[in-house]
Amino acid sequence: MKDNLHPGYEKTTYECSCGNTFDSMSTKGGSLHIELCDKCHPFYTGQQKLIDTGGRVQRFADKFGAAATATLEKDAAKQEARRKAAEEAEAAKRADREAKAAAKAAKAAEFASTTPVEAEIEREVEAAVEAEDIKAETADAEEPAAQAVGEVPEAAVEAADVVEAEVAAEEVTAE
């Protein structure tokens, strides 16, 4: 270790503003004047003076408390709006699901009420009615010429055949 590197550690006399003196060791040495000691410090003597912090807190709350309340109310309103939007979206999803389920049930009931044979007959009848409509349209254009000659139009004969087929199909489904 180098010599004369560290300062000396000497006896020091401390003099307080209250008149108390005591000795201690320090690198300063000599005599030091201090403002507070253990004999006059309010914490050690029990004669503390309380600072009016309540008044300061109240002034702060008066100045910024309204802003904090407004911010809290604004946040609560935003949260309520988000909650309502989520509830509406959930209700819309639920209604959509119920509508799909009702449509599916109606479709299932429709298919359950008819047997495969009845469904095939209904399809054939629908096809015959469509064919009849098409032939009737073409026959309307040819009918004036046929009436002039006194012939029975082919469309009328075919329409009678289709009606007879429908009556037969209804008799089969009734049995």
Judgement on whether residues 64 and 39 belong to the same structural domain of the protein: no
Domain enclosing residue 164, as ranges: 114-174
Is residue 4 assigned to a domain? no
Q: Given this model, what pLDDT does residue 118 score?
A: 73
Judgement on whether residues 121 and 153 belong to the same structural domain of the protein: yes
Which range has highest mean pLDDT (27-36, 79-88, 145-154, 160-169)?
A: 79-88
Rounded Cα gap, residues 49 and 5, in angstroms: 46
Number of domains in the chain: 3
Is residue 5 assigned to a domain? no
| DSSP at 28 | S
Is residue 97 assigned to a domain? yes
pLDDT digits (tens, 9 = 90+) for 63-85: 887 777 888 889 999 999 999 99
* 161, pLDDT greater than 90: no
Judgement on whether residues 120 and 100 belong to the same structural domain of the protein: no
Is residue 2 assigned to a domain? no
Is residue 107 assigned to a domain? yes
Judgement on whether residues 78 and 90 belong to the same structural domain of the protein: yes
Judgement on whether residues 57 and 109 belong to the same structural domain of the protein: yes
Judgement on whether residues 56 and 107 belong to the same structural domain of the protein: yes
Query: Which of residues 55 and 52 earns the better pLDDT score?
Result: 55
Comparing 28-32, 43-47, 140-144, which segment has the lowest mean pLDDT?
A: 140-144
Query: Which of residues 22 and 70 earns the better pLDDT score?
Result: 22
Q: Given this model, what pLDDT does residue 151 score?
A: 56
pLDDT digits (tens, 9 = 90+) for 86-143: 999 999 999 999 999 888 888 877 776 666 677 777 788 888 888 887 777 776 665 5
Judgement on whether residues 96 and 140 belong to the same structural domain of the protein: no
Please, where are the H alpha helices in the chain?
42-45, 53-113, 116-149, 154-174
Judgement on whether residues 109 and 57 belong to the same structural domain of the protein: yes
Judgement on whether residues 19 and 59 belong to the same structural domain of the protein: no
Judgement on whether residues 88 and 55 belong to the same structural domain of the protein: yes
Rounded Cα gap, residues 77 and 119, in angstroms: 58
Query: At 30, which CATH number?
Result: 4.10.80.400
Judgement on whether residues 118 and 107 belong to the same structural domain of the protein: no
Is residue 1 assigned to a domain? no
User: Please, are residues 7 and 27 in contact by the beta-carbon 8 Å criterion?
Assistant: yes
